[in-house]
Structure 1
């Protein structure tokens, strides 16, 4: 995120490079940088003759070079944006000749999503010498809640940890999807609002009481009644609560719990650091560790592996996922 801010600042200050190669697994920042260049480098009057958007599936490298080598009309620069450039992955190295001698009055932007070019190859080195190569790396799940907090903070909002965790568990690590939901909340809620689980439930449709976050907590507390209430809700709403997601999240939780048992320093700060969790949730792990000794945690992890296979239809084709979840809860909480 800091690299993106720096890149945007340079563009705002007129420090514009002839080539921007935007690559990587996370498309959110690739789109943000590309859109910023598209919207700000040229004035509205200049865009008509000097800005072109191409799509990788429809063009060749020769088409890109031909467009990039043109001179701008009544403008200092022209902008050529290639979206879905990853569709040219088999021939992308042919761009080397242009990268070694780019048209300095052209700003060439290549959106190379979900892939990256080999940093050992000539193309990477040539672009790096004259332009910018930005790699957008996918965030790990334990990083997304903090990303949500920082994005909202920049817009003058705050969010309670549980609400952020609900978004992560429901939407995963897709930053574009999460940002779309955050933008909806910003339309509905005034600046300065602290976003709560109730706001998430009422405006996004994620239940604040019946979700994987609450299930994990109920299991950690050995609250059998609450855990089965949640599982029954999941069984009745299987499309919104796929078993494979529940099993995956519980597997991560018990794997972290196993790590916790192995720590010599169980201070809240060290636990948060080692397990890569928000300090807000440390007490949940401390409490769960008392209810699940190390030997039991190992047994649960083995059980979760078994049910992960079953959740994918191996050896349990005729068993409804709701029934599998109920059996899983019994196995975990005995």
Structure 2
């Protein structure tokens, strides 16, 4: 069951006695918990029938006692246990979960980890409750997620703006949503988000970023690549080397796969680039510039310089100097 399905059920007054929200992606867990805290009960009932506990500070017995109370002047009460992964003796909740009170909606957020499916606690929750596992979004799905989210808010976003945001923030969905909200508040009547908006409101340059460096390397434009790296040197937070190297590795890995494909047409390879025909066309050009041997050498260099970036076989060379050495060797 998805976070949206849980919330939609709640909107229809369809409740299970226990909801266990677990996993590495905080965004969906927080979204469900926020709805449970602020929307399930009307304000007139929440004062008497909403209890919120935090795992670090709460005793399991206090949580169970709250769950065992009957609602006052209402059909349901809501008990929330946040940050449950920090609670001691959390397995002692099992006796209540095995026989929950029908008038209590007990919602638990258990972040950063998941229950062992072999344990009795997992099986007990699964029997009559709901377990929602919130997984980290895969890098290859991030741009689509951003595009879909923006559209769900009745806005549009240019492909380059999406890529800028994804490269700058990564897969932190909560932060992405916060940045998009900050941008849309400043758009006035406009409904489209551009790369200029990303630069102005998020603080990432539309000309000097990891995406533009990748494009420069892909086209063997050494002068542009060096200019971008010099910008990174003057602005260390703009694109740390730990962000740049995986981006380049991902690109050259796709080119490596390209050489082994039977159908090397734009249509045949666009699946490698998330069905982006423009990216597929650019990749074909890059493959011709580098050749199979050049792509293979680029991957070996990326591995070598990744080790150097963490101090292996290197005596403290700056990140900018490492990147300059890397791109020169890759292009030659």
- Please report the TM-score for the alignment, with normalisation by the length of structure 1: 0.95
Determine the structure 2 residue equivalent to 1:213: 211
Determine the structure 2 residue equivalent to 1:333: 331
After TM superposition, give the deviation of residue 191 of structure 1 in Å. Answer: 5.9
The 8 Å contact of residues 53 and 80 in structure 1, kept in 2 or not, is answered as yes
Aligned pair partner of 1:96 in 76, 94, 97: 94
Does residue 1:185 correspond to 2:191, yes or no? Answer: no
Quote the Cα distance in structure 1 between the aligned partners of 2:270 and 2:254. Answer: 11
186-195 vs 159-168, greater mean Cα deviation: 186-195
Aligned with 1:186: secondary structure?
A: helix
Quote the Cα distance in structure 2 between the aligned partners of 1:317 and 1:46. Answer: 64
After TM superposition, give the deviation of residue 95 of structure 1 in Å. Answer: 2.1
Residue 277 and residue 169 in structure 1: after superposition, are their counterparts in 2 closer, same or farther (change >3 A)?
farther
The 8 Å contact of residues 52 and 82 in structure 2, kept in 1 or not, is answered as yes
Segments of structure 1 that go 5 or more residues without pairing to the other structure are none
Does residue 1:66 correspond to 2:52, yes or no? Answer: no
User: Runs in 1 of length 4+ with deviation above 6 angstroms?
Assistant: none
Quote the Cα distance in structure 2 between the aligned partners of 1:191 and 1:100. Answer: 53
Does residue 1:256 correspond to 2:276, yes or no? Answer: no
Output aligned runs, 1:13-52, within 5 Å: 13-52=12-51
176-185 vs 124-133, greater mean Cα deviation: 124-133
The 8 Å contact of residues 166 and 197 in structure 1, kept in 2 or not, is answered as yes
Determine the structure 1 residue equivalent to 2:55: 56
The 8 Å contact of residues 142 and 277 in structure 1, kept in 2 or not, is answered as no
- Please report the TM-score for the alignment, with normalisation by the length of structure 2: 0.95
Aligned pair partner of 1:105 in 100, 103, 106: 103
Quote the Cα distance in structure 1 between the aligned partners of 2:188 and 2:123. Answer: 47
Quote the Cα distance in structure 1 between the aligned partners of 2:36 and 2:266. Answer: 44
Quote the Cα distance in structure 2 between the aligned partners of 1:277 and 1:96. Answer: 47
Quote the Cα distance in structure 2 between the aligned partners of 1:173 and 1:141. Answer: 7
Segments of structure 2 that go 5 or more residues without pairing to the other structure are none
Aligned pair partner of 1:198 in 171, 196, 215: 196
